[in-house]
């Protein structure tokens, strides 16, 4: 889609270039930004010239840059989480063209309940690295960074730099359902270690104890409601999937 209100475009090559002027918006892949009208947006600041490595490894962790595309992320060394990385990416039903342009950071900042990278990084205990306007940085779990549909904890002037995830020792357990075989996810349930992460069926990521999923499910207060499923149905199917995941984790242990 054309954005007729945009009259300026500039590349960010240094951190100092990230200060937004009135009407400016950051862009990386732009798959959502260019998908619908953007009232009030008069300028774009491209993050890709910053030259961040798509992914880096440190002991026990994998750092994914905010500008890393979904396709690049799938090529990263996920170890035991390789299968679940692919399953999460495919759960949002992105075409290969979208996977080649859409970025991990954009997916997280868009904060869709069914966001593929939200499901993946939250389930692996991900922590976001955020650059602050004063030249510093802060870290926060993905589970609190994504606050609700379209809402994150980013403050004005802050930029998502990367997300760090823990690489599990054993393959995570993945379950997903939707109203149609090729429909957007209505519930995504992922078990890793002693935790089960709920996304898509909840307005924000929710983590429950794999040892007692029913207790965790009873405390959920943010079942999501949209055309992909009503809250009561989502609660019911999520409970079924969570019990299946807990049972499989128990057998693996």
Summarised one tens digit per residue, pLDDT across range 26-46 is 999 888 888 888 899 989 999
Which of 70, 223, 227, 230 has the alpha carbon at shortest distance from 242?
Answer: 223
Beta bridge partners of 15: none
For 77, the token pair is 């060394």
Res. 240: pLDDT tops 80: yes
Res. 154: pLDDT tops 90: yes
> How far, in Å, CA of 9 to CA of 165, rounded?
32
What pLDDT is stored for residue 77 in this prediction?
96
Summarised one tens digit per residue, pLDDT across range 71-109 is 999 999 999 999 999 999 888 666 677 788 899 999 999
> How far, in Å, CA of 114 to CA of 149, rounded?
9
What pLDDT is stored for residue 63 in this prediction?
97
Res. 127: pLDDT tops 90: yes
The answer to whether residues 45 and 20 touch, using CB atoms and an 8 Å cutoff, is yes
Any residues with CB less than 8 A from the CB of 214 and at least 6 apart, and which? 239, 243
Res. 174: pLDDT tops 90: yes
List domains and CATH numbers for the chain: 8-50 (no CATH), 55-166 (3.30.465.10), 173-252 (3.30.390.50)
Average pLDDT over residues 194-211: 98
> How far, in Å, CA of 80 to CA of 170, rounded?
6
């Amino acid at each position: 889609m054309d954005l007729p209100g945009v009259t300026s475009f500039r590349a960010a090559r240094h951190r100092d270039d990230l200060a937004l002027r009135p009407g400016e918006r950051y862009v990386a892949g732009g798959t959502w930004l260019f998908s619908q009208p953007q009232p009030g947006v008069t300028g774009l600041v491209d993050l890709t010239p910053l030259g961040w490595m798509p992914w880096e490894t440190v002991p026990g962790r994998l750092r994914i840059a905010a500008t890393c595309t979904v396709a690049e992320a799938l090529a990263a060394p996920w170890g035991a989480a390789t299968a679940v990385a692919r399953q999460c990416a495919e759960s949002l039903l992105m075409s290969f063209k979208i996977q080649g342009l859409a970025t991990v950071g954009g997916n997280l900042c868009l904060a869709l309940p069914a966001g593929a990278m939200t499901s993946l990084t939250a389930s692996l205990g991900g922590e976001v690295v955020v650059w602050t306007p004063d030249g510093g940085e802060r870290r926060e779990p993905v589970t609190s960074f994504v606050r609700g549909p379209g809402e994150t904890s980013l403050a004005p002037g802050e930029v998502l730099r990367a997300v760090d995830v823990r690489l599990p020792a054993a393959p995570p357990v993945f379950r997903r359902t939707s109203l149609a075989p090729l429909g957007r996810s209505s519930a995504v349930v992922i078990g890793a270690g002693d935790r089960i992460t709920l996304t898509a069926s909840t307005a924000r990521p929710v983590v429950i104890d794999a040892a007692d999923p029913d207790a965790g499910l009873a405390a959920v207060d943010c079942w999501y409601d949209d055309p992909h499923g009503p809250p009561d149905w989502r609660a019911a199917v999520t409970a079924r999937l969570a019990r299946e995941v807990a049972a499989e984790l128990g057998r693996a242990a």
